[in-house]
Amino acid sequence: MSIKKDELTIILVSFKSRKSITKIISKINKNLNIIIVENSNDKFIKNKFLKNRKIKVYFPNKNKGFGAGLNFGVKKAKTKFVLYLDIDTKITNSQINKLYNQAKKTKNFGVLTAKIKGQNYKDLIIGRDKITGLRFVKFNTGCVMMFDRYVFNKVGGFDENFFLYFEEADFYQRCKNTGRKIYLLENINIEHEGKGSIDVTHKNKYEILRNWHYCWSKFYYYNKHKSYFVGFSKTFPNLIKSLKGIFISIIKLKMFEFRCHKAELLGILAAYFKLKSFYRID
């Protein structure tokens, strides 16, 4: 079944990722609706795609992170289905069609996800749905997520307290709490580069940002869905790791490693004291 123009929008969230976003868009069918949410003030991206009527580029007033960027894109979309793609994801138009066709056939799903190459699903698969025949999971890396826009909004969208990391895990959990499954389409195998979306010139700053937010978000997630004690126990190994890393990097005079481990420690402490996720880069 070919994709109806008024039924699917692809959403891409970017932060100074000119090369990656140009690359992924070049691979997507030109007739599909695409929304780019650029979380920086990089006007190059807007000028690059301005002439394409199927691509809309938005610059939020403030960079509130990935989850907020996705929420912004969903609000701007007018179609029944929205497909979020990490911009360092390798996906074909045939695979996009498969996701769309499955969405058309599946009622009240939480998220349709693809199988990610290299990810171990042994402990993630919960069972197989008798109606759809699809396996459903408790988690899958959120680089490819197909949503029904009505369900997305009904669940509450992404929690914008997360700036980076654990947003999809939080959304999945809220889907499960409302009886909606996270389906795994095993016939769609996707390559995901992971940390490949940010341009090289910003790599070091972004690595420090990632370390801070991974630790903050990890505690926030478990504190939100379990308890403060569970959040503390889950992040205590990160606390020890950061302290050891700081000590070793000082001895070896490796200042970048020191800054990375310091960011981990400060992210954990901010979470323990229930401070908002505040660390940002320009």
Which tens digit of pLDDT belongs to each residue from 116-164?
999 999 999 999 999 999 999 999 999 999 999 999 999 999 999 999 9
* Total number of domains constituting the chain: 2
* 219: pLDDT strictly greater than 80: yes
Q: Is the domain of 49 the same as that of 177?
A: yes
The pLDDT of residue 197: 53
Strand (E) or helix (H) holding 145: strand 144-148
Q: Is the domain of 167 the same as that of 205?
A: no
Q: Is the domain of 184 the same as that of 262?
A: no
Q: Is the domain of 100 the same as that of 152?
A: yes
> Which of 192, 211, 245 is the C-terminal boundary of a domain?
192
* 259: pLDDT strictly greater than 90: yes
Say if 148 falls within a structural domain: yes
Q: Is the domain of 124 the same as that of 151?
A: yes
Q: Is the domain of 87 the same as that of 116?
A: yes
Provide the b/e sequence for 75-109 (b: ≥16 CB within 10 Å).
eebebbbbbbbbbbbbbeeebbebbbebbeebeeb
The pLDDT of residue 200: 55
Say if 279 falls within a structural domain: no
What's the predicted TM-score (pTM) here? 0.94
| Domain limits for position 258 | 200-272
- What is the band of 3 on the pLDDT scale with cuts at 50, 70, 90? confident
Q: Is the domain of 23 the same as that of 62?
A: yes
Say if 160 falls within a structural domain: yes
